[in-house]
Amino acid sequence: MDLSVAIIEDDPRYRASLETLFTHAQGFALAASYGSPRRALDEVDRLIESGKRPVWNFVLMDLELPGISGINATRELKARLPELSIVVLTVFEDPATIVEAIVAGADGYLLKKTPATELLSQLRMIAAGGAPLTPGVARTLISLMRKSLTSIAPTGVGSPTRLDLTEREQEVLQCLVRGLSYKQAADDLRVGVETVRTHIRAIYKKLHVHNAAEAVARALREKLV
């Protein structure tokens, strides 16, 4: 079954390019496209009131939008549809915006300069249980968390805890902390991508987290790697 994508993007030219991509990309289907988050939220409310739900696997969410910001729209959509995967697609790379989007419920954070083939690959990663961050965004987020943790915890205090992670799971978690993709982690560890996915699902369960950003944050906070 094709993965259905809804787009929320106010730039008509960029929105049209995304519409073309998901109309023709193998394994994907364009489900809806909106120039403002208000229209998308109204459509979701209308469907819910009629006893239905949007048949969307993903929402691609711009951040700078008319009426309601992409971050607030992410928060509102997640409140209505907690299972919906929302991927931020933006030009903003500043740490504060990245963290705010993830806290609001974003399942991934990608930049508009991401090539189309990589964008499709990242969405497939989400469908398989991943939470993609472009390498630059991952490095920015990890750097920010490390600085924050350093400021609140004295260096060298306490000993690492493993929370029942196996040795291989610790290695996979280290790959997440380094900002590696599933494919890069698989190559680094000389295992298959599906093996990496299996370990990551186990890591999420043991750490009681739902995405890569939360896993990295806990790993750094509790010195798991």
Alpha helices in 153-192 (DSSP H): 167-177, 182-189
pLDDT of amino acid 8: 98
Is residue 197 within 8 Å of 129, Cβ to Cβ? yes
Q: Please report, for the chain, the start and end positions of each structural domain, with discontinuous segments joined by +.
A: 3-127, 138-221
The CATH architecture annotation of domain 3-127 reads 3-Layer(aba) Sandwich (3.40)
Quote the pLDDT of residue 160: 43
CATH architecture of 138-221: Orthogonal Bundle (1.10)
Contacts of 137 (CB under 8 A, 6+ apart): 93, 98, 109, 110, 111
Give the type of residue at 101. Answer: A
Cα–Cα dist 196/55, whole Å: 29
What is the per-residue pLDDT for 41?
A: 96
Residue 34 has a pLDDT of 97
Low-confidence ranges of the chain (pLDDT < 50): 149-160
For the beta carbon of residue 224, count every other beta carbon within 10 angstroms: 22
- Say what the pTM is: 0.66
Structure-token pair, residue 14: 């960029």
Query: Tell me: the pLDDT tens digits for 176-211?
Result: 877 777 788 889 999 998 899 899 889 988 988 877
- Per-residue confidence (pLDDT) for residue 157, from 0 to 100: 41
Residues above pLDDT 70, as percent of the chain? 83
